[in-house]
């Protein structure tokens, strides 16, 4: 057998082993089918266990299409799951701005041949000539063996220490370019038998790119719309007769016309970078930089650019990420304050890690502050106070990523943010057609510095990127490792809840109360229906702090957890709740007073005897595939067809084409954008 295909077969076997049930129980771990008060989510857990025993009806998601899958793709469209499509197909349908002030980089400037590219079992060795660069999609460990390279304009000299990068095609891919050595004392060249011939005057830099798999490569099995963001084990266009066929690597070199883009930084950005970073530690007052612009203008890219420039010079920097829709330094739909010490390239995997030491983080529960601006501003105020108390005296610079809501009432929000943060500089990323200038005339932003934005077609929708962040977070194993098997194949944590506020009810039960953002007027008896199968934020609060909430904010019920009737007060400076992380509620057992939940938060953290848990529910989106995995739906759909039934028999999901009287299918058109 071809050794490449042998490796593929072995990898497939390992993937199947990884899909076995994993135990993540806490306190009283329970399986969904033994709950006396079974939710629809719990019923799906039972369905999976029952289906696993049916050996003659096994259907699993395959990365390549078939007639059966094509039929299911059509049916999946009926309940909102887009069929697997290529990046190019998606790019043609998504919102885009037809202005790009910097030429797009769509592929590597590198032509492989038998001399400059050496294949190994788990790595490749590449020789780069002057002015050549690589764009690489995937997960890899990069070791510089000769000379120096620039990764997104950050200089690295040859060293035995690798740089690990995860670069899915959700965003622009890092650019790795040959560079001039600036200090020979920093260079530690590594000659080997594989790269000896590359140590010649023809080549400027030599790189070893090795496999690095985190588990995220399996996300396509759980969530098919994202199956192309990382390389498959066998690419769909694989040609075994190609002279440079690559099989089994966790990465791939991107060439021209691939549909992907690399990070391309305008010269104006580098000029502004020099002005902002020069003497950043010498000023008596710390530099505070607002990065402002409309959606999809490159704000996050510019913040990352400044972060890498500062940390590469061994200077720490503080990031205030105020965009709950696309956070890069904390979980989905949160805002955070973090101290960064090293450059970040590609996807920031630390945002999914429970070992991340965020100084302060708050769950907003919405993808935009527009839904609840008052609560949002209260949370921002707390983050600003934390910066002033911990970092201002250390003179650490502050970089602020502002949400893209900068029109209408969004301008008023910017005024308030400016008052809270008092920026010394504002970088305004604009387009040639921007109408925002006159709306900002009355807002104080310190020194205004205008720069062209990077406006490019979005390969994936904002909703799909949020789904990725949520799934990656919920499936993290810690240490940059992920298990993308459906959560419902494992038992959830069980947390006991109290139904009283006196005696043992206050101290013995872990879950103190549940609150619902934007949930005014919610009937307490509807709390179970409201909370099950939803993404929630978990907070810890001291017993004394929780007792202070009781008189005005907490109401009780004989069967359901205590309910917070005014969640907005939690975000004020009068209370000190600590955000622990996110969770996905599995079910509520009202007989045994247990809330069953999936969360990567450590059991030790949740079980601390000195704190109570407070759960906050917002409007975070739950990917349908998480609560109804594709292979389970496929199995049930086969059985439905055999039984000639319209009812799928599975919670949350309906594939029936029968419509009630007056009902009409809603076809969402995502290619319509507002005229600018």
CATH number of the CATH domain containing 308:
3.40.50.300
Min mean pLDDT across 10-14, 225-229, 392-396, 504-508 is at: 10-14
d(CA 120, CA 3) in angstroms, rounded, equals 12
Res. 455 pLDDT band, cuts 50 70 90 = confident
The answer on pLDDT for 10 being more than 60 is no
Are both 439 and 493 inside the same structural domain?
Answer: no
Give Cβ neighbours of residue 186 (< 8 Å, ≥ 6 apart). 157
Instruction: Give CA separation, 650 vs 51, 76, 192, 375, in Å.
Output: 12, 14, 58, 37
State residue 560's pLDDT score: 92
398, pLDDT greater than 70: yes
Q: Which is more confidently placed, 417 or 246? A: 417
Report the 10 Å Cβ neighbour count for 368. 18
- Look up the pTM and report it: 0.82
Cβ-proximal residues to 363 (8 Å cutoff; 6+ apart), any chain: 331, 333, 334, 537, 539, 579, 582, 616, 618
Confidence of residue 671 (pLDDT cuts 50, 70, 90): low
pLDDT value of position 543:
85
- Judgement on whether residues 367 and 450 belong to the same structural domain of the protein: yes
Q: Residues 154, 142: contact at Cβ < 8 Å? A: no
pLDDT at 74: 39
Q: Which of 226-235, 379-388, 665-674 has the lowest mean pLDDT?
A: 665-674
pLDDT band at residue 202 under the 50/70/90 scheme: very high
| Structural domain of 192 | 117-253
Whether residue 533 contacts residue 628, with contact meaning beta carbons closer than 8 Å, is answered with no
Residue 247 and residue 324 share a domain = no
| Same domain, residue pair 515 and 547 | yes
**Residue spans of beta strands (DSSP E) within 561-658:** 563-564, 578-589, 594-598, 611-617
Tokens of 433: 């057609």
Confidence class of residue 140 from pLDDT cuts 50, 70 and 90? very high
Amino acid 60: pLDDT:
32
Task: Answer whether 147's CB lies under 8 Å from 204's CB.
Answer: yes
Could you tell me the two tokens for 309? 């420039």
The C-alpha atoms of residue 140 and residue 133 are separated, in whole angstroms, by 16
pLDDT at 586: 93
- CA-to-CA dists, residue 667 to 76, 79, 464, angstroms: 13, 11, 18
The answer to whether residue 323 scores a pLDDT higher than 80 is: yes
**136: confidence class by pLDDT, cuts 50, 70, 90:** very high
Q: Is the pLDDT of residue 164 over 60?
A: yes
Half-sphere exposure of 372 (CA within 13 A, CB side): 23
Cα–Cα distance measured from residue 367 to residue 358, given in angstroms and rounded to the nearest whole number: 20
pLDDT value for 644:
76
d(CA 290, CA 294): 13
Q: What is the DSSP string of 35-83?
A: -SS--HHHHHHHHHHHHHT-GGG-----SS--HHHHHHHHHHGGGT-PP
Instruction: Tell me phi and psi for residue 567, to 5 degrees.
Output: -75, -20
The two beta strands, 447-452 and 425-430, are parallel
State the total domains in the chain.
Answer: 3
Q: Which of the pair, 17 or 310, is modelled with greater confidence?
A: 310
Q: What is the CATH number of the domain that holds 149?
A: 2.60.120
Residue 281 resides in a domain: yes
Is residue 240 a contact partner of residue 108, using CB atoms and an 8 Å limit? no
Last residue of a domain, one of 191, 222, 253: 253
Give the model's pLDDT for residue 80.
Answer: 35
Question: Mean pLDDT throughout 406-434?
Answer: 83
Predicted pLDDT at 36: 39
pLDDT of residue 33 exceeding 90: no
Query: Under the phi-then-psi rule, with left for phi > 0, alpha for psi from -120 to 50, and beta for the rest, what region is 209?
Result: beta
Residue 194 maps to a domain = yes
Among residues 213, 168, 87, the alpha carbon closest in space to that of 468 is found at: 168
Residue 39 lies in a domain: no
pLDDT band, residue 297 (cuts 50/70/90): confident
Instruction: Pick the range with the lowest mean pLDDT from 117-126, 194-203, 448-457.
Output: 448-457
For the chain, percent of residues with pLDDT exceeding 90: 46
The CA distance from 640 to 638, in Å, is: 5
Q: Would you give the DSSP letter of residue 313?
A: T
pLDDT for 26 beyond 60: no
Three-class SS state of 143: strand
Rounded mean pLDDT, 318-338:
94
- CA dihedral in degrees (44, 47, 52, 56; nearest 10)? -130
Q: Answer yes or no: do 229 and 337 share one domain.
A: no
Give me the pLDDT at residue 208, please.
98
What is the model's pLDDT at position 607? 85
Question: Do 149 and 199 share a structural domain?
Answer: yes
Q: pLDDT higher for 499 or 253?
A: 253
- 665 in any annotated domain: no
375 within some domain: yes
DSSP string for residues in 261-274: -B----HHHHHHHH
- Coil, strand, or helix at residue 135? strand
* 233-247, 272-286, 420-434: the lowest-pLDDT one: 233-247
Residues 529, 595 share a domain: yes
The pLDDT value recorded for residue 205 is: 97
Please identify which residue in the block is written with the tokens 């139904």. Answer: 499
The rounded distance, in Å, linking the Cα atoms of 632 and 625 is 10
In a domain, 79, yes or no: no
Angle at 585 between CA 579 and CA 588, to 5 degrees: 120
Q: Which of 253, 282, 314 is the last residue of a domain?
A: 253
Q: How confident is the model at residue 538 (pLDDT cuts 50, 70, 90)?
A: very high
Can you tell me the mean pLDDT for 611-625? 91
Last residue within a domain, chosen from 435, 456, 477:
456
Q: How far apart are CA 161 and CA 603, in angstroms?
A: 34
| pLDDT mean over 214-234 | 88
Distance CA 266, CA 269 (A): 5
Strands 175-179 and 148-151: antiparallel
* 234 shares a domain with 159: yes
Query: Are residues 239 and 121 part of one domain?
Result: yes
pLDDT of residue 105: 86
Would you place residue 147 in the very low, low, confident or very high pLDDT band (cuts 50, 70, 90)? very high
- Is 246 a residue whose pLDDT tops 70? no
Whether residues 477 and 524 share a domain: the answer is yes
Rounded CA-CA distance 442/416 in Å is: 12
Residue 406 domain flag: yes
For residue 506, the model assigns a pLDDT of 54
Query: Do 241 and 276 share a domain, yes or no?
Result: no
Q: Do the strands 133-146 and 175-179 form a parallel or antiparallel pair, or are they unpaired?
A: antiparallel
Least confident of 84-98, 100-114, 294-308, 359-373: 84-98
CA atoms of 305 and 319, how far apart (whole Å)? 12
Q: What is the pLDDT of residues 540-561, one digit of tens each?
A: 998 888 888 777 777 888 899 9
Same domain, 294 and 184: no
In this prediction, residue 453 carries a pLDDT of: 86
- Its sign, for the CA torsion 351, 353, 359, 363, is positive
Given this model, what pLDDT does residue 526 score? Answer: 93
Q: Is the dihedral of CA 26, 28, 30, 35 positive or negative?
A: negative
pLDDT band per the 50, 70, 90 thresholds, residue 439: low
- 6 in a structural domain: no
pLDDT digits (tens, 9 = 90+) for 569-584: 788 766 678 999 999 9
């Amino acid at each position: 057998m071809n050794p490449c295909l042998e490796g593929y077969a072995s990898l497939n076997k390992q993937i199947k082993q990884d899909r076995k049930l994993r135990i993540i129980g806490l306190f009283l771990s329970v399986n969904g089918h033994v709950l006396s008060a079974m939710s629809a989510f719990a019923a799906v857990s039972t369905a999976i266990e029952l289906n696993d025993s049916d050996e003659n009806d096994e259907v699993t998601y395959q990365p390549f299409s078939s007639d059966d899958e094509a039929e299911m793709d059509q049916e999946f469209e009926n309940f909102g799951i887009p069929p697997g499509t290529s990046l190019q197909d998606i790019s043609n349908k998504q919102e885009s701005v037809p202005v790009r002030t910097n030429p797009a980089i769509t592929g590597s400037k590198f032509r492989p041949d038998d001399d400059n590219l050496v294949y190994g079992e788990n790595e490749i060795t590449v020789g780069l000539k002057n002015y050549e660069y690589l764009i690489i999609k995937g997960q890899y460990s990069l070791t510089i063996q000769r000379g120096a390279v620039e990764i997104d304009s950050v200089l690295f000299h040859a060293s035995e220490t690798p740089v690990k990068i995860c670069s899915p095609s959700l965003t622009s891919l890092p650019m790795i370019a040959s560079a001039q050595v600036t200090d020979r004392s920093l260079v530690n060249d590594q000659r080997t038998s594989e790269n000896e011939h590359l140590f010649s005057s023809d080549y400027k830099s030599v790189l070893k790119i090795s496999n690095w798999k985190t588990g995220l490569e399996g996300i396509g099995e759980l969530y098919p719309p994202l199956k192309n963001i990382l390389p498959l084990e066998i690419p769909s266009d694989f040609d075994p007769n190609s002279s440079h066929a690559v099989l089994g690597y966790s990465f791939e070199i991107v060439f021209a016309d691939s549909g992907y883009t690399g990070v391309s930084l305008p010269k104006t950005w580098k000029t502004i970078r020099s002005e902002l970073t020069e003497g950043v530690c010498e000023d008596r007052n710390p530099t505070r930089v607002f990065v402002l612009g409309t959606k999809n203008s490159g704000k996050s890219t510019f913040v990352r650019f400044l972060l890498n420039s500062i940390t590469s010079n061994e200077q720490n920097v503080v990031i205030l990420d105020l965009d709950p829709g696309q956070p890069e330094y904390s979980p989905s739909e949160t805002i955070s304050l973090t101290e960064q010490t090293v450059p970040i390239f590609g996807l920031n995997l630390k945002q999914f890690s429970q070992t991340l030491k965020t100084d302060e983080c708050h769950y907003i529960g919405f993808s935009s502050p527009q839904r609840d601006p008052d609560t949002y501003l209260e949370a921002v105020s707390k983050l600003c106070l934390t910066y002033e108390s911990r970092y201002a005296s250390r003179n650490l610079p502050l970089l602020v990523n502002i949400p893209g809501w900068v029109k209408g009432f969004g301008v008023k929000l910017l005024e308030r943010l400016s008052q809270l943060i008092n920026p010394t500089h504002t970088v305004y990323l604009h387009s040639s057609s921007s109408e925002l200038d006159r709306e900002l005339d009355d807002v104080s932003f310190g020194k205004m510095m205008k720069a062209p934005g990077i406006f490019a077609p979005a390969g994936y929708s904002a909703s799909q990127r949020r789904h990725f962040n949520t799934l990656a977070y919920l499936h993290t194993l810690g240490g940059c490792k992920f298990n993308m098997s459906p959560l419902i194949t494992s038992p959830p944590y069980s947390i006991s809840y109290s139904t009283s506020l006196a005696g043992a009810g206050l101290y013995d039960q872990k879950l103190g109360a549940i609150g619902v953002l934007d949930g005014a007027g919610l009937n307490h008896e509807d709390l179970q229906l409201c909370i099950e199968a939803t993404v929630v934020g978990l907070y810890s609060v001291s017993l004394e702090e929780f007792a202070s909430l009781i008189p005005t904010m907490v109401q009780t019920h004989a069967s359901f957890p205590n309910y917070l009737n005014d969640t907005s007060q939690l975000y004020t400076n009068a209370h000190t709740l600590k955000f622990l992380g996110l969770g996905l509620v599995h079910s509520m057992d009202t007989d045994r007073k247990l809330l069953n939940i999936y969360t990567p938060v450590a059991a030790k953290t949740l079980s601390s005897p000195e704190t109570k848990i407070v759960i906050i529910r917002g409007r975070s989106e739950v990917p349908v595939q998480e609560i109804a995995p594709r292979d389970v739906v496929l199995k049930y759909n086969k059985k439905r067809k055999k039984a000639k039934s319209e009812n799928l028999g599975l919670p949350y999901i309906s594939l029936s084409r029968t419509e009630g009287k007056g009902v009409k299918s809603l076809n969402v058109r995502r290619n319509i954008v507002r005229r600018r």
